[in-house]
Each structure stands twice: as C-alpha cells, then as structure tokens.
Chain A
Amino acid sequence: MESDGWWRNTAGARTIVSVLVAAVLVWEIAVRLFGIRSILLPAPSVIILEMIKIAPWLGEQTVYTVLETLAGFALAVVFGVVLAVLIVSSKLVEKTIYTLLVTFNSVPKVALAPLFIVWMGTGIEPKIAMALFIGIFAIVVDTVHGLRSVEPDMIDLARSLGGNRFQMLSKIRLYCALPSLFAGMKVAISLALVGAIIGEFVASSNGLGYVILTAEGDFNTPRIFAALVILGIVGTIMFYAIDLTERACLPWHVSRRRE
C-alpha cells in the first residue's frame, strides 16, 4: 500500500522524467543515424562526456554564475518592493520614478551592459547590476499591481478599526501583494539569469557565459552545449525553488486550496 502511495505521488515527476529521457534518446539516435558532425550538433552522450571531463572547472563557473544571479535577484526583490511601496504611497513618486522606470525598461538592457563595464570594471559587480536591472521591472510592476488590488471593504475595515497608513500597509496591503510579488519573482529569477549571462558575454573571465564564449572561439560545440544544459537545469531549479517558497508562504491562497 505504501509503495502504491509513493507511485501515485510521484506521477508528475515520472511524466517529466520520461518525456525528457525520450527526447534525449530521439536526439542521440537522430545524430548517429544521420551522421551529424559534432561541431554542428553533438550527441547527448558526447555532451555528457565533455561535462564529466571538465566537471570541477564547470562546477566553479556554475557557482559563479548562480551567485551573480541570486545576488542580482535578491537586490531586485529588495529594491523592487521598496520602490513599489513608495509608488503606491505617493503620487509624486508615481509620476516621477514610475515614469522613469517605464522609460528605462523600454531601452534594451543588453545595450546597457557595456556601460556597466565602464562604470564598474570587469569583476562580478556589473553582472550583478545587469541581473538586478533586468529583473527589477517585473517585481515593481507586479508588486504595485498587488498593493493596489486590496478590496475596498478591507480598507473600510482597517479604517473602522482606527488603522493608520502604516498598519494598512503592514497588516493588509503587503499580504494582498504577496501572490503578485511571487508571480513577479518567478519572471524575475529567469530574467536575472539572462542578465548575468549578458554581463559575462560582454567582459568576463568567469561564469557559464564565459565558458560559452571561449568554447565558441575553439569551435568546441559540445562544451557550449554542456554550459547550456547546466543553464537549463539551474534555471529550472531556481524557478521551482521560488514556487516551493510560494507554496510554503501562501497556504491560504486561492491557487493552493484544492491541494
């Protein structure tokens, strides 16, 4: 009976794994069958061998990129939430900062990377800055939306209890904004990873972006793919980490009630 329960509980995970394994198999067979050269499209087995060969170095580069991403993401959340609170609290801030933010977001942020290198050098700072700037917009927009989507009845309740603006924010508005904040965070974490890689592409001697850039110079396609696979895995893990945090933080939310 117990193994039965385990079998049922892992149904979702088993589906994902089977689909992935099947796709990899098709890929492997297609490459061998049509004799595609490794420099164009390496077979999964070749990529795995390459990953094993340079495992320790690849691991170091992965940690570097993940650190940049998480640092940028964390800063985006902190600054994003503070900005959102300021925007909903003050018409002046909304008219000035929010307008600037929207304008700023319309500039392709890839184009800012060289500027950050000029300002901050070639260390980890410009990469964190890229991750921060590319991710913060989603956080601000979603949090502003969440802070504003408070039922009028709740505001009346708070007023009838003699609540001041700060209590309204700390006891009601922030909680109403949490579901939107998490939606924004899911978008921002993926974007932060993009930001970190862009930063590494422009000027770097570390990270998975650097791995891809140098491998390209050597026509080492299996290594490029190795970095891409890791990026895919890292991105997925980070996304689901936020999803799990959301489940733990918002057991009361509508989207969780039927579970």
Chain B
Amino acid sequence: MQREVHVLTRKSPTCIEARGVTKTYHSSRGDVLALQNVDFEIPEGQFVSVVGPSGCGKSTLLRCIAGLDLPTDGTLEVNGRQVSGPVIGLGVVFQRDVLLDWRKVIDNVLLPAEFRRLNRREYEPRAHALLEKMGLTEFAGRYPWELSGGMRQRVAICRALLDDPDILLMDEPFGALDALTRDELNVELQRIWSETRKTVVFITHSIAEAVFLSDRVIVMAAKPGRVVDVLDIDLPRPRPLSMRETREFGTYTGRIREHLQVTSVWKK
C-alpha cells in the first residue's frame, strides 16, 4: 500500500509536503509532544482526510499547514514553499464557523476581499454565486444568528472559497452538526470538490466521513501524535450516501478502525 502511494504522488505535482514535522507545546505540567516525526505528501487536486482520536494532533497539523503554528522541528512545504507564517491564498474552514455576528451573511463572505484590500465590488458577484451554489441566496442579507448551524457552516465555506484558493483546509467543519445535516453537507462538499478539484485537507474524527469524502486517508494516533497509516480510497465517484453500506466501504472503515483501536484502547 505504501509503495503505491509513492507511485501515485509521482504522477501529479506535490502540493503539501511534510518531512519529520514535530511540534512540542510547553505547558505548566511539562512539555507535550503534539506531533512526532510526521511525514506525508498531498498531491495537487486530491481530497485528503486526516482521521484520528482526540489529542492525536490533527488540528495542530492543520494549523501548521495554515502557518498559524510553526513546527518545532522538520519542514512543511505548501506549493513548494516552506511555511514560515500564515499562508496567504488558502481557504481555512474552522470547527466553529467563526462568522462575525455584526456582519450580514454577504459581508461575512466578502471578508477575505476586505482583508486582502481587494476591490469588494469585483468580488460581490462571485460571493452571490457561491451563496447560490449553497442554496443561501435568500439569506444574503440576514445576520448569522438568524441561520441554523448547517447554514452557518455553509456560509463559512463560501467565505473560504471567495478568492478561489488552490487549497482548502477544513478542521472538523461538521463536528458540531447533527447527523442528518452532516450527511447533507458531506454530499454537497463532494459536489463542490468535484466541480473545482481543489486540494482539500479535511480533519475529522468520523471514520465514515473520511472514507466517504476522500481520495486518501491519513490515520493518526495519539500520545505522541503520529501517522500510523495512509490509505488510498479507491471508490468510484460521485459517491452516494448509500455507498456507506457497501462491503468495499466497510473494508476501508474496518481497517481504519482497527488502527484506532489498537493504538488507543489496547495500549492501556
């Protein structure tokens, strides 16, 4: 399996590359090793999920890719350039939608244009188009608190996509949503990804969600946070939700679950 990964990455240019990424946090109770020697490659245009138990450092990893945190050791390259600070030009979707309460939906979506001192008016049609794609046209003039959790997260995705980034980083974006809304957004995200073919790094603790959405799943374990497996998901697209009941799907989720159990329960 690992060999195949290498062959695959040779075909398309590497977009995100981690080499021996290690991250230590200093706390009052001593140093915490959040990430230990993490290596992986994410080819351009792939949908890659990172799955693992709480505390395995998957969010830390995403923060390092975004440049919000810097690794203590090792190197991280995004689009061939070493990350040394916040990486501009990639979209980030956080676990909580982080919409600004005082801005209407449309103004929230246009926030990146304002921050990057781009012409707001130029981006307005695109913002409306994104909202339309998400079925939110009639909510453009509403305030975030008037929207449901699922709608809010959709707005956050529109905001991340506003200036058409090559890379989309998503940190458990659907973790706070109910199961039905989550399914719905999984299908929608798959559709958007198929249309745009952006490189996506998707953090989740749901094994089914990871397999359903991804071309590749990176499995992590905790204490210390490290990569224990990398799987390529070879299921045809577009994937309907019903695919989650198939045997092939079960084979993938079974293999990932095995890793998580071995590393998190049996060691105790």
Contacts and interface: CB of A to CB of B under 8 A. Distances in A.
A167 interface: yes
Contacts of A250: 102
B221 interface: no
Contact of A156 (B94, B100, B111, B114): B94
A16 B163 CA distance: 54
Interface string B226-244: 0000000000000000000
B145 interface: yes
Contacts of B145: 252, 254, 257
A77 B65 CA distance: 42
A156 B115 CA distance: 13
Interface in A146-160: 151, 153-154, 156-160
Interface string B144-171: 1100000000000000000000000000
B92 A251 contact: no
B96 A153 contact: yes
B116 interface: yes
Interface in A8-56: none
Nearest to B104: A252
A252 B143 contact: yes
A253 B143 CA distance: 10
Given A156-B68, A251-B143, A162 B86 contact: yes
A248 interface: no
Contacts of A153: 94, 96, 98
Given A153-B98, A252-B101, A252-B102, A161 B116 contact: yes
A171 interface: yes
B66 interface: yes
A250 B66 CA distance: 33
B112 interface: yes
B115 A162 contact: yes
A175 B116 contact: no
A171 B94 contact: no
Nearest to B92: A160
A44 B98 CA distance: 56
Q: State which size class the interface on B falls in.
A: 20 to 34
Q: State which size class the interface on A falls in.
A: 20 to 34
Interface string B66-105: 1110000000000000000011101010101010111000
A162 B94 contact: no
Given A160-B68, A171-B114, A154 B86 contact: no
Nearest to B96: A153
B143 A167 contact: no
Contacts of A257: 145
A154 B102 contact: no
Nearest to B66: A160
A153 B68 CA distance: 11
A229 to B, nearest CB: 39
Contact of B116 (A157, A162, A171, A253): A162
Contacts of A172: 100
A163 interface: yes
User: Which residue, A156, A160, A162, has most C-beta atoms of chain B within 10 A?
Assistant: A160
A172 B115 CA distance: 11
Nearest to B163: A161
Interface of A: 151, 153-154, 156-163, 167, 171-172, 175, 178, 250-254, 257
